[in-house]
Amino acid sequence: MNQPAADAVAEPSLLEALAARMQGSGDQPLYLRLATALRGLIEAGDLRGGDAMPSERDLVRATNFSRVTVRKAVDELCREGLVARRHGAGSFVTRQIDQPLSVLVGFSEDMKRRGAKVSSRVLQKQICAPDPSDMLKLGLSPADQVFRLARVRLSDGEPLAIENAIVPAYAIDPTTLGESLYEALRASGHMPARALQRLRAAVANADEARLLGVALGSPILHIERRAFLANGRPIEITTSSYRGDRYDFIAELTLQP
């Protein structure tokens, strides 16, 4: 489906799938309805990394929406990092992973939105006593326990990140944990509502290079996230090492009045 021309005609089956997803999409503004439907095609794998998006002309014909509405929907997906525009070539589902810094989303959910298959290699999974740093950052006492989870995260079999997560033991049942830590926290009623992230550039050490399958000294993005419940209580600390050749983190800035 990798069509290079901007005016390439989208497959009829793709537009039919899009029309089906537009049915009963509620009272959202038109551009958000279309953005949601297109996002669904990416999540379902109907559109994958590198695939050309349907042209504006095709989307107008399929939805009867105006070009302005269609363009605004695609802009929304670009803002989320799911789609990128190429001058003179149209819009494409991104291969390089642009992760918006303004959106709190876990690795599993992010990859599924992009139509990728998520898997993990577990390095550590245990309930244990917190160390002093854990107690300080999570507001715990020495009598409390934490759940530690260290994993290599893979997308379509390709290692992209190493994650080391710590959450209070009361917030999760490790026996029911699947690929998504956030899904487990949501199920227990402890889903984070906001987070603070600190990013710094680095180069891969020997362990990171081995686990991520990159050369020693390759670019790495180190990220520390501290997440909070709606009531302000800290609930998660995650330190991650992301492949710098596959990840860009983007932020939208506005001028302060």
pLDDT digits (tens, 9 = 90+) for 51-108: 889 999 999 998 899 999 999 999 888 876 678 787 777 888 876 565 656 667 677 7
Mean pLDDT of the region 215-239: 91
Whether residue 23 has pLDDT greater than 80: no
Mean pLDDT value across the chain: 83
Show the CA angle centred on residue 49, arms to residues 45 and 53, nearest 5°. 80
pLDDT at 9 over 60: no
Positive or negative: CA dihedral 126, 131, 137, 141: positive
At residue 100, what is the residue type? P
Average pLDDT over residues 134-152: 94
Residue 251, pLDDT above cutoff 80? no
Find the radius of gyration of the CA atoms of the chain.
Answer: 20
Which distant-in-sequence residues (6+ apart) come within 8 Å of 80 by Cβ? Answer: 39, 100, 103, 113
Q: Examine the pLDDT at 19 and tell me if it is beyond 90.
A: no
pLDDT tens readout for residues 154-194: 888 889 899 999 999 999 988 888 888 888 998 899 999 99
**Residue 254 pLDDT grade (very low, low, confident, very high; cuts 50, 70, 90):** low
Q: Is 189 helix (H, G, I), strand (E, B) or coil?
A: coil
Rounded CA separation 180/194 (Å): 17
CB of 147 within 8 A of CB of 139?
A: no
Query: Cα(46)–Cα(44) distance, rounded to whole angstroms?
Result: 6
Sequence-ordered list of residues with C-beta below 8 angstroms from that of 257, at least 6 positions apart, any chain? none
- For the whole model, what pTM was predicted? 0.60
Residues 6+ apart with CB under 8 A from 239: 163, 164, 222, 223, 224, 225
Q: Coil, strand or helix: which one is 16?
A: helix
